Amino acid sequence: MRLHFIHMTLETGLRHTVTLHVTEDDSALHFRSGHVNVLATPRLVALCEEAACSAVDAELPPGKTSVGLRIQMDHVAPVSIGSKVTAEAILEKVEGRRLTFSVKAYGEPGTICAGFITRVIVDTESFISNVH
């Protein structure tokens, strides 16, 4: 798939935070990713991806979006239902279409997770037309 991009400049340092009030719908039991009623790792990953997307969405040209390529994350602390979690993403590196973000989430227990998310800028229409 060949993609043509109009000129754009994304600067490192772009950042965004999002906050989640953890409910049972965010639990490992709900996501079927475990057998305990705490914040699910997949939900935590989604929260960090939301922060990464939001950090750059306004800077992308019309018709462009970013899609996930790689997630490297350590989930180091459990979070109970009813807790508040904040995820932060910072754009650390821009290599052509490839964007690398440092991500972390924190809350009542302190650091909950930390890692990196890599996303790739694509033409939305071309990308969707190639989905099988």
Helix extents (H) in 15-123: 28-31, 41-56
Give residue 2's pLDDT.
Answer: 34
Per the CB < 8 A criterion, the answer to whether 58 and 14 are in contact is no
Q: Where are the domains of the chain?
A: 15-129
Q: Nearest Cα to 57, choosing from 23, 104, 89?
A: 89
Strand 84-95 relative to strand 64-75: parallel, antiparallel, unpaired?
unpaired
Write out pLDDT tens, residues 65-76: 999 999 999 999
DSSP state of 61: P
pLDDT band at 108 (very low <50, low <70, confident <90, very high): confident
- Whole-model pTM? 0.91
Write out pLDDT tens, residues 37-77: 999 999 999 999 999 999 999 999 999 999 999 999 999 99
Question: Residues of the chain with pLDDT > 90: what percent?
Answer: 89
* One-letter amino acid of 63: G
CATH of 15-129, one of 3.10.129.10, 3.40.50.970, 3.40.50.300, 3.40.50.740: 3.10.129.10
Above 60 in pLDDT, residue 5? no
